[in-house]
Structure 1
Amino acid sequence: MARLALPIFLLLSFSLLCCSRPSRTRKAISPRQAGGGEDEDVKSQVERLWQEVNALKEMQALQTVCLRGIKTHKKCYLTIEEPKHYHDANEDCIAQGGTLATPRDLLENNELRDYAKRSAPGSRDVWIGVADIVKEGQYVDVNSLPVSYFNWDRSKKQPTGTKRESCVALSVVAQGKWYDDVCRSLKKYICEIVIP
């Protein structure tokens, strides 16, 4: 795709420049006289073409991630089985074009739980994108936006409320309930990539 993009771009640019010259039968009008409209039109067409090429590259990358994971609710989820600390896990998700998965409602939470069971059999829990690192008890997602949906494991008195346990994991064995844990713990994790 990248090999084809540059030649296509050059061909289109050349054809636009070639075809936008005045004919010999008409008197040429300088850009100053015409108000520079044609130059601006060509520039905007070239800019639009570059935007389309970049959008296609982004969609191709998303499709690659989605093929390895699952696609649901305009999101792709991908389980990473190499256990990492919470922050390293989120950095890895960012490098793949997303963030740690953050369930926004019970349906998404259950889908993440079921996907974790299928994609990482034997896993007890996975990191999700919720934490109260900045202010104890104030849970936000990885973009620092307040979280409005919670699925705490109340039978285990979660969240515990200690400053040491600031990162949230989804428990596969406790039917998708959440608990807070030490961010330096090693866990598998699920990345979430939003599909435009």
Structure 2
Amino acid sequence: MELLRPRLLLCVLAFLTQGAAEPPTSKPKKAANARKDLVSPKMIAELQGRLDSLAQEVAVLKEQQALQTVCLKGAKVHLKCFLVVAQALAFHAAGEDCIARGGTLAAPRSEAENEALREYAARSLGAAAELWLGLHDLGSEGAWVDASGAPAAFTHWESEITAQPDGGAAENCAAMAGAAHGRWFDRRCRDALPYACQFAIV
């Protein structure tokens, strides 16, 4: 009985070592090929479409979150909000910065919007501050347009003392002057001024 145990143990060990020494069969390859056949180009295209859709949804959510943050800092008026930036830049650089933030240079479209922007700028920069607006007549002298190229829907030029715009071809960009109660002046586009960006609230 005592001799039977070692023999039995040797047999089990021999069996195990023989099984371990055998090369793997080709069954996994067949299984891999079967899996490969299950994933068709149509399925890959469908998954890619879903991933693209999810990426777009995430981008929209990020944009909405950023807009909410901007509007909390700025001033809301109707379906837009304004954000005043204290850093003084030339007109084109200011416009590029607004675009990078997801907006455009502010172009008030009514007396109410202009007054809301003037009050907000006074709180942010001081009552006498000047700031760039998103209006210019670079394309055609006297034809003032906004960032999209559309004709200005509203203007608020200072006309009682200096009959603005009065700079001719030398002054092609619009600025709001706090000291003139939010009236507009034409300025040289290369002048450095603070500016206001606007963002559409969806």
TM-score in terms of structure 2 length: 0.73
Decide which structure has greater helix share: 2
Distance 1:185 1:161 in 2: 13
Q: What secondary structure, in the 3-state scheme, does the structure 2 residue paired with 1:191 have?
A: strand
Distance 1:192 1:104 in 2: 11
Q: What secondary structure, in the 3-state scheme, does the structure 1 residue paired with 2:138 have?
A: coil
Shift of 1:51: 2.4
Give the number of aligned pairs.
Answer: 165
**Are 2:125 and 1:120 equivalent residues in the alignment?**
yes
Q: What secondary structure, in the 3-state scheme, does the structure 2 residue paired with 1:178 have?
A: strand
In the other structure, the counterpart of 1:9 is none
In the other structure, the counterpart of 1:192 is 198
Is the CA contact (8 Å cut-off) linking 2:131 and 2:176 kept in structure 1? yes
In the other structure, the counterpart of 1:169 is 175
Is the CA contact (8 Å cut-off) linking 1:131 and 1:139 kept in structure 2? yes
Distance 1:48 1:54 in 2: 10
In the other structure, the counterpart of 1:99 is 104
Which residue of the other structure, out of 63, 76, 85, is the alignment partner of 1:80? 85
For each residue in 1:103-125, what CA deviation from the matched residue of structure 2 results, as whole angstroms up to 9, or x when unmatched? 01111111111111111114431
Is the CA contact (8 Å cut-off) linking 2:164 and 2:186 kept in structure 1? yes
Change beyond 3 A, Cα 1:65–1:30: closer
Q: How does 1:42-61 map to 2 (within 5 A)?
A: 44-61=49-66
Is the CA contact (8 Å cut-off) linking 1:137 and 1:161 kept in structure 2? no
Identity %: 41
TM-score in terms of structure 1 length: 0.75
Unaligned stretches of 5+ residues in structure 1:
1-28
Distance 2:122 2:55 in 1: 41
Which residue of the other structure, out of 59, 67, 75, is the alignment partner of 1:62? 67
Distance 1:51 1:179 in 2: 41
Larger Rg: 2
The amino acid of 2:163's aligned partner reads K
- Could you list the structure 1 runs, at least 4 aligned residues long, displaced by more than 6 angstroms after superposition: 29-32, 38-41
- RMSD value over aligned CA atoms? 2.2
Unaligned stretches of 5+ residues in structure 2:
1-37
